[in-house]
Amino acid sequence: MVLLAEGAGSMDESAEAMTLHARPRASVDFGVQTGGPGLAAKLHDSPRHQRRMSLITHQPPLKKVTVTLVLTGWLVGMVVKASLDGSSWLPWSTPALPDMTARMIYCARCLAVCTLPLLAGVVFCTYKRIMTPALDPLAGHEHYVEVHRRFLENTVEQFLLLGVNLVPMTATLSDQYLPVIPAVVALFLVGRFLFWVTYVYRRSERGFPYMLSVYPSMAMFMYNMYMCL
């Protein structure tokens, strides 16, 4: 009888173990049947699901992005074309650049003008720190200058892209295409200042001014890569 009882107990344990292994993993982990409300709530509250939903919620509409890219590209092309044609409504003109030395001096002057957004950002950040508790950077009041600091960081990145590509392009452009240089500088300045304004007041609208400075840098990069072939 004792042996029979032990055998029955072993069979019960084996059956329970088989049932546990046969049960879906989700049920073991969450204590509910697979696909039940408990599992759905657990998955919904998971950090991965929340990050995915946040990305979907905050992504701009595809139509808006497409219109912004097309409109910015059209505007950049029109400004460059007007500069090449020597339109009278443009506030700049290209001087005579007879040799490589003159070209490099002109390029250096253009890059110096492009530092204007950086200088303005540094001055404004300094003013904000003096006039707010952010004077001490370790006091936990960096939110007063956070937007302006990010603008400066992004402008430094854009300036590096511009400078690295503008110098070799200036050295290799033919004389008839030299008016492209002041057009690129003008687009950079307008794009950076508009980006700053939209970053402060309308962050969701900063794509247009951002691309005003990115498109010329991309075009110069492709031109320089072509000249290297």
Q: What is the pLDDT of residues 57-67, one digit of tens each?
A: 556 677 778 88
CA 196/CA 152 separation, integer angstroms = 9
Specify whether 124 is located in the same domain as 168.
Answer: yes
Tell whether 136 is covered by a domain. yes
Structural element, H or E, at residue 37: helix 37-44
Tally of domains within the chain = 2
Tell whether 4 is covered by a domain. no
- Residue 192 zone, left/alpha/beta (φ > 0; ψ -120 to 50; rest): alpha
Tell whether 19 is covered by a domain. no
Give the domain extent around 206. 61-228
Question: pTM of the entire structure?
Answer: 0.71
pLDDT at 27: 41
Specify whether 123 is located in the same domain as 34.
Answer: no
pLDDT at 53: 55
Q: What is the CATH number of the domain that holds 136?
A: 1.20.120
Final residue of a structural domain among 59, 80, 103: 59
Specify whether 119 is located in the same domain as 186.
Answer: yes
Tell whether 68 is covered by a domain. yes
Positions in the chain whose pLDDT score sits under 50: 1-8, 17, 20-34, 55-56
